[in-house]
Structure 1
Amino acid sequence: MTKIFVDGAAGTTGLEIRERLAGRRDVELITLPEDRRKDAEARRGALNEADIVILCLPDEAAREAVALIENDTTRVIDASTAHRVAPGWVYGFPEISGRDTVAGAMRVSNPGCYSTGFIALVAPLVKAGLIPADYALTCNAVSGYSGGGKSMIAEFEQNAAPTAWRSYALRLNHKHVPEMRERSGLTVAPLFAPAVVNLFSGMIVEVPLHLEKLPGKPDAAMLRDALAAHYDGSPIVSVVSDYEEGTLAVERLSGTDRLDMFVFADAANRQARLVAALDNLGKGAAGAAVQTLNLMAGLPETEGLHL
């Protein structure tokens, strides 16, 4: 049985991970008493006892936790931003990095929520040559407020008249941009415009395209077919081809660990909108970590997931 220690289990992502692991007979959770949860020696012991550690910590604390591991057998899944473009770390997006690569890794960085939607849409199209690596892309996205952690959750839930919609990262320095560029195979950082809404969880990520400006002048069918071919057989990621409504709700996949993708297009004006729907706490965080854990432990990929 695989021994698992979730360091930072009291945080939003940690709680979601533990919920997906609760009651499972194929893993054993290592837990610390509440009064020793932040004790360095207690954590050191748990980190070195575990077969796989999942870090749900701020960046610096995640780096410190890795340094506390004194053996060459404990494997790590880091849900922070600390190692998402770090040398020697495998990116924990099995559909992009490869399931075998993730399964065999010692150190895995869990993707960011926005990054998951963007990379899911863009990386296969760059690989297929339909979007050039040096193309200047724009990404618009909106998330539920749980993506901001405990402080943002408290801000929205304790405010009698919370903001309905808020744009942020207006200085264009969002922490997900480096992984969005590198893990998509781009040489130019995308212009990223995120927003948060008064909804606990859910996410929409969109990449608009002027098809006539792309070198191969692809149409919507070519883009959709390339995405469908890349994700063919995935139990988690779907390319939706029969969606005919004119709107898409941010909470479409709230409460699930799935990811749906769409290609909307105006053939006359040669424009397209690539759209990914997911839950920022699901495939965008905890669901992704548990999927990776399952692969690393040699267990069924979807065990414990909400599909």
Structure 2
Amino acid sequence: MKQLIPHQVKKGEVGRLLVSCVDQPGITMGISRFLNEQGANLSNSEQYVVGDHFFLRVEFRFDDLSENIEELRKEFARIAEPFEMEWRMIPASRKHRMAIFVSKADHCLEDLLWRWRNKELDAEITMVVSNHLDLKPLVEPYGIPYYHIPVTKETREEAARKQAELLQAEKIDTIVLARYMQIIPNWMVKEYKNRMINIHHSFLPAFEGAKPYHRAYDRGVKLVGATAHYVTSELDKGPIIEQDVQRISHLDTVRDIVRIGKDTERLVLARAVRWHLNDRVWVTGNKTIVFSGT
């Protein structure tokens, strides 16, 4: 096996390796031996067996990783093939190019921008896209372009084409729907499969669709929540990344429930986006494996 750098390494750049395959003997040994032979230092490893499938996330340090990543991937492919692995290897220094879609609700957008400014989200937020102008004053101080693309039932397809042109021009790889109250066309959903994150203001699968807080109030539930999930062609049914709930009582009005729910939405969406950006989410079928960490 070709050795890319001398066995003794310096501090090095951080790389991430995610692996999924049918559980079988020798997987971790083969990966560890590979990294050792290439001169990489393993700094963190987490693995799960779910059913008959094995899932692994490894962080390692490797000198000049950015320059050597393609050669390293080529060498690892030889290890992966006998195990029929699905895998990806990414330099941690790579920043996702992210777009945020919004309508009129500001709480999730404002929270994401605040966390981004404070370097909690390791991404380049290259644009905010909205079907309304209401939130433009909120975005402008951050120096992020704000694109107003109105959407009606009659112009939905045309608006989506305009959005797609912007996304492609800026090489966007992650889209966050921060309470964007419009249906995304299936062709765009497929284009950004497992790269488009939505926040839904209920604890799915309860109260899918519109006005979940009002329906929660009418039903008299004692817990309300929020769900962050990848978008699929089925409304509110994509792989769930994160959820949380808050307790309510018969004393809470719809307005109270909305207020409580907004706090939960902010936290749930921020966690899901951060985990996605840090390569901690693996989609398997309509579920996710979320590797622990910040």
TM interval, short-chain normalised: 0.3 to 0.5
Structure 2 length as normaliser, TM-score? 0.33
TM-score for both structures, normalised by structure 1: 0.32
Q: Which has the higher contact order (CA 8 A, sep 6+)?
A: 1
Radius of gyration: which is bigger? 2
